């Protein structure tokens, strides 16, 4: 019989404790990169090791992902980069795509006023891309290494090729949209057959485009040979944007949104992201509510958080949009009395009906397949970067001869206000299509400080589920004290007001689900709850966590 006593018992118990807290983040002393594809993570670590800062690494990883993660990494999409520097400065670079000048409000409706597929598939789905100009802007302003050095790894991966992973092979096999376009088939199939894991994929045209960008910067992409060939193909194929659209594309630096939660300071994404407002609104409704009394994953905690989600997404549908076109009442939406008033409509014992929850009436505004990577460098500078083509492989269109995919970001607008988009989001007039406007986004790159020091950097792909995913990881870490890997791993749920469903991932117990049904929730199961990539800063180390739902990698040195 095994008998434990004294020291043996203590050791035994500590082993048990380690087992109960089963998920271990990747630890490193100085610097850390977490990205959704391992080759790209390795590029980032290499840049950091050789003296690059977090922004340099983010730019290099961004270009590498355009090669190794073609479903989401991109030159033909857009995104947001949030940086917080060791000296306390923060910057938010908005390189979200814009609607072309020829875009019109009802461009995706047929003669009977019904929504067509055109906002999702093909040339007309693409908005004017921002990624190349955004990465260049970040590098010019905050980078340290020569520009060409940051593109070299991506060029090598495209020109020499790299072995197709199981994840990439599966993803290429299942993308129906990609298979509709001959240039996409030419590059992402091998002589008409799917790539098998381990085979080498070479992207020579993309290498050529990257080499031109390495040599001449974004001027090449927005006004040079790449631009001319892109718009020639655009107009030959019924697409909308012109050379003037490309030349006129501007990155916008915006003040990051900031807010507090239980002694932590959050730095996050302002509009045209809906995510920062979302996280801060939801945390604001939760703070002091006692929602967490029964512990993480309890029916009462899930119920309360789902009700908070429902109220935020109702507000999102009406009040959030591109702030250059719509007066977004950010201060009103985040005002404490407003959030208290919203919270007071929550019944801790019963689910509300989404039809009964309307967007709120905050004080009016004063004038005023996505992927995420998180990086912290050895000096304590942090970057959270989320960028996207929108759907997996975007519009499905690879520009002939240029080797990159075009986004289908136009679907993030309210193509028909009041009707759901790809993410089943019901959105209103504020986010209707207008020339030059940026579609409302859910991307939520976020950085958290405690006592003025860097505590965490995180973000995710996952459409509307990004915002609730980021928030739940924050709750797990800040309220329930989980380590960053446990916080990312825990099963998640999602409510977005409409449809009136509480989506739950596998991993919740049947009795928890029964209790939620008993409170009136319409519980549905879901497999898609965002992929959170996060880094936590501890006193003596950095801890990185890639979401086990995906195929990413955390690594550092
Ligand atoms: O900006 C947005 O909200 C969407 N275009 C993000 C799309 C996305 O996350 C897809 N990835 N899973």
> Confidence band (pLDDT; 50, 70, 90) for 21?
low
CATH code of the domain in which 513 resides: 1.10.246.130
Would you say residue 450 lies in a domain? yes
Residue in 463, 465, 469, 494 to alter for ligand 1 test, most ligand atoms within 8 A of Cβ: 463
State mean pLDDT over 23-36. Answer: 97
> Can you give the pLDDT at residue 2?
36
- Given a cut of 60, whether residue 368 has pLDDT beyond it is no
Residue in 406, 461, 529 to alter for ligand 1 test, most ligand atoms within 8 A of Cβ: 461
Query: Nearest C-alpha to atom 10 of ligand 1 is from which residue?
Result: 369
406 in the same domain as 358: no
468 in the same domain as 379: no
Q: How far is the CA of 387 from the centre of ligand 1 (A)?
A: 8
Query: Nearest C-alpha to atom 6 of ligand 1 is from which residue?
Result: 463
Tens digits of residue pLDDT in 524-537: 998 888 999 999 99
399 in the same domain as 351: no
> Can you give the pLDDT at residue 176?
86
- Given a cut of 80, whether residue 16 has pLDDT beyond it is no
Residue 441 Cβ < 6 Å to ligand 1: yes
525 in the same domain as 390: no
State mean pLDDT over 504-513. Answer: 96
391 in the same domain as 332: no
Identify the active-site residue in 370, 388, 444, 446. Answer: 370
Q: How far is the CA of 461 from the centre of ligand 1 (A)?
A: 6
Q: How far is the CA of 459 from the centre of ligand 1 (A)?
A: 12
- pLDDT-above-70 percentage for the chain: 96
Would you say residue 434 lies in a domain? no
Would you say residue 437 lies in a domain? no
231 in the same domain as 122: yes
Q: How far is the CA of 411 from the centre of ligand 1 (A)?
A: 10
Tens digits of residue pLDDT in 143-158: 999 999 999 999 999 9
**Beta-sheet pairing, 502-504 with 523-525:** parallel
333 in the same domain as 448: yes
> Can you give the pLDDT at residue 22?
73
> Confidence band (pLDDT; 50, 70, 90) for 361?
confident
Beta strand segments in 187-318, E:
200-201, 252-254, 257-261, 264-268
205 in the same domain as 59: yes
Would you say residue 538 lies in a domain? yes
> Can you give the pLDDT at residue 528?
82
211 in the same domain as 95: yes
244 in the same domain as 144: yes
Tens digits of residue pLDDT in 307-339: 999 999 999 999 999 999 999 999 999 999 999
Q: Which helix (H) or strand (E) holds 319?
A: helix 299-319
Would you say residue 28 lies in a domain? no
Would you say residue 488 lies in a domain? yes
Residue 370 Cβ < 6 Å to ligand 1: yes
Structurally, how many domains does the chain consist of? 2
Crossing angle between the packed helical segments 147-160 and 38-49, to the nearest 10 degrees: 150
Tens digits of residue pLDDT in 94-135: 999 999 999 999 999 999 999 999 999 999 999 999 999 999
Select from 300, 535, 287, 314 the least CA-distant residue to 428: 314
Last residue within a domain, chosen from 390, 413, 436: 413
pTM of the predicted protein model: 0.94
Residue in 274, 370, 464 to alter for ligand 1 test, most ligand atoms within 8 A of Cβ: 370
Residue 412 Cβ < 6 Å to ligand 1: yes
Distance in angstroms (rounded) separating the CA atoms of residues 377 and 375: 7
CB atoms closer than 10 angstroms to residue 199: 13
Q: Coil, strand, or helix at residue 340?
A: helix
516 in the same domain as 403: no
Residues forming beta bridges with residue 459, ordered by sequence position: 533
State mean pLDDT over 193-215. Answer: 98
Residues of the domain holding 386: 37-80+89-251+374-413
Would you say residue 70 lies in a domain? yes
Pairwise pLDDT comparison (4 vs 492), residue with the higher score: 492
Residue 462 Cβ < 6 Å to ligand 1: yes
Q: Which three-class secondary structure string do you get for 30-73?
A: CCEEEECCHHHHHHHHHHHHCCCCHHHHHHHHHHHHHHHCCCCC
Residue 431 Cβ < 6 Å to ligand 1: no
Residue 396 Cβ < 6 Å to ligand 1: no
State mean pLDDT over 228-233. Answer: 98
Would you say residue 309 lies in a domain? yes
Residue in 421, 443, 527, 547 to alter for ligand 1 test, most ligand atoms within 8 A of Cβ: 443
> Confidence band (pLDDT; 50, 70, 90) for 351?
very high
Tens digits of residue pLDDT in 439-463: 999 999 999 999 999 999 999 999 9
Residue 369 Cβ < 6 Å to ligand 1: yes
Is residue 106 classed exposed, middle or buried when 0-12, 13-18 and 19+ CB atoms within 10 A define those classes? exposed
Q: Which atom of ligand 1 is nearest the CA belonging to 466?
A: 9
Question: Does residue 200 have an active-site annotation?
Answer: no
Residue 461 Cβ < 6 Å to ligand 1: yes
Select from 347, 331, 334, 405 the least CA-distant residue to 171: 405
218 in the same domain as 305: no
Q: Coil, strand, or helix at residue 490?
A: coil
Residue 472 Cβ < 6 Å to ligand 1: no
Q: How far is the CA of 94 from the centre of ligand 1 (A)?
A: 15
Residue 203 Cβ < 6 Å to ligand 1: no
- Given a cut of 70, whether residue 204 has pLDDT beyond it is yes
């Amino acid at each position: 019989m095994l008998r434990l006593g004294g020291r043996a018992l203590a050791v035994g118990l500590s082993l048990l404790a380690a087992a109960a807290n089963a998920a271990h983040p990747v630890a490193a002393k100085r610097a850390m990169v977490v990205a959704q594809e391992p080759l790209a993570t390795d590029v980032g670590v290499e840049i950091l090791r050789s003296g690059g800062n977090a922004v340099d690494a983010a730019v290099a990883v961004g270009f590498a992902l355009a090669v190794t993660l073609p479903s989401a990494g991109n030159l033909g999409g857009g995104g947001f980069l949030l940086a917080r520097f060791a000296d306390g400065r923060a910057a938010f670079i908005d390189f979200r795509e814009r609607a072309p000048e020829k875009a019109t409000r009802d461009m995706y409706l047929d003669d009977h006023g019904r929504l067509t597929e055109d906002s999702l598939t093909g040339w007309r789905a693409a908005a004017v891309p921002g990624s190349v100009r955004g990465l260049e802007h970040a590098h010019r302003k905050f980078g340290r290494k020569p520009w060409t050095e940051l593109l070299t790894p991506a060029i090598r991966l495209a020109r020499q090729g790299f072995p197709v992973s199981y994840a990439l092979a599966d993803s290429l096999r299942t993308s129906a949209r990609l298979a509709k376009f001959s240039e996409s088939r030419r590059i992402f199939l091998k002589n008409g057959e799917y790539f098998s894991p381990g085979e080498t994929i070479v992207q020579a045209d993309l290498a050529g485009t990257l080499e031109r960008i390495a040599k001449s910067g974004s001027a090449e992409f927005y006004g040079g040979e790449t631009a001319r060939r892109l718009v020639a193909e655009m107009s030959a194929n019924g697409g909308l944007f012109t050379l003037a659209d490309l030349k006129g594309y501007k990155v916008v630096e915006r003040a990051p949104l900031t807010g507090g939660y239980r002694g932590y300071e959050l730095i996050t994404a302002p509009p045209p992201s809906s995510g920062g407002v979302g996280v801060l609104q939801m945390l604001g409704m939760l703070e002091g509510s006692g929602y967490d009394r029964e512990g993480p994953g309890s029916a009462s905690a899930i119920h309360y958080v789902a009700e908070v989600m429902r109220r935020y997404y109702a507000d999102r549908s009406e009040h959030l949009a591109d702030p250059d076109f719509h007066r977004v009442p950010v201060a009103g939406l985040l005002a404490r009395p407003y959030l208290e008033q919203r919270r007071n409509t929550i019944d801790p014992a019963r689910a509300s009906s989404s039809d009964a929850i309307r967007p709120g009436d905050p004080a009016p505004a004063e004038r005023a397949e996505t992927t995420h990577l998180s990086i912290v460098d050895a000096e304590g500078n942090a970057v959270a970067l989320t960028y996207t083509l929108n759907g997996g492989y975007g519009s499905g269109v690879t520009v002939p001869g240029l080797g990159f995919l075009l986004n289908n970001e136009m679907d993030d607008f309210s193509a028909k206000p009041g009707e759901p988009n790809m993410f089943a989001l019901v959105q209103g007039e504020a986010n209707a299509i207008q020339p030059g406007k940026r579609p409302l986004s859910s991307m939520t790159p976020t950085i958290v400080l405690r006592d003025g020091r860097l505590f965490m950097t995180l973000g995710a792909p996952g459409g509307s589920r990004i915002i609730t995913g980021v928030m739940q990881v924050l709750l797990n870490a800040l309220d329930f004290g989980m380590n960053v890997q446990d916080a990312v791993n825990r099963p998640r749920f999602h409510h977005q007001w409409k449809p009136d469903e509480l989506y739950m991932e596998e991993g919740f117990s049947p009795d928890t689900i029964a209790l939620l049904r008993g409170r009136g929730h319409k519980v549905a199961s879901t497999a898609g709850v965002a992929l959170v990539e996060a880094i936590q800063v501890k006193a003596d180390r950095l801890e990185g966590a890639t979401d086990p739902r995906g195929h990413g990698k955390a690594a550092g040195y």
